[in-house]
Amino acid sequence: MKKPNVYGGRWAKVRLNYLAKHPLCVMCQEQGRITAATVVDHIIPHRLKDALASGNAEQIAKAQKLFWDTNNYQSLCASHHNSTKQRMEKSGVVVGCSEDGIPLDPNSHWNK
């Protein structure tokens, strides 16, 4: 079964508005670099497509709340969104280090 497309016209407007207000990649900034953001990322994955496919009203409501909550957004460059963020979601570990070489993962032994 094909998953529904949740990124329509309303999302396009929200995305452009968010990028206008937050034009720089937050992960690049953490590393001391300045890079234009091109992606609005959901910090906590919303899984809206899966919720819609399940038909479960409670899951759908929770996913929609995460999807539209601007506090759950961050601006990223395509590189960080397509590689670093995906690895972090799969592994549960924050990837990268500050410009001083200190790991960004708060659970790293260097940060204790």
What does pTM read for this prediction? 0.73
Q: Rg of the chain's alpha carbons, rounded to an integer?
A: 16
pLDDT tens-place string over residues 34-87: 999 999 999 888 889 889 999 999 999 999 999 999 999 999 999 999 877 776
Span between the terminal Cα atoms of the chain, in Å: 47
Position 96 confidence tier, pLDDT thresholds 50, 70, 90: low
Contact call for residues 75 and 40 (beta carbons, < 8 A):
yes
pLDDT of residue 44: 87
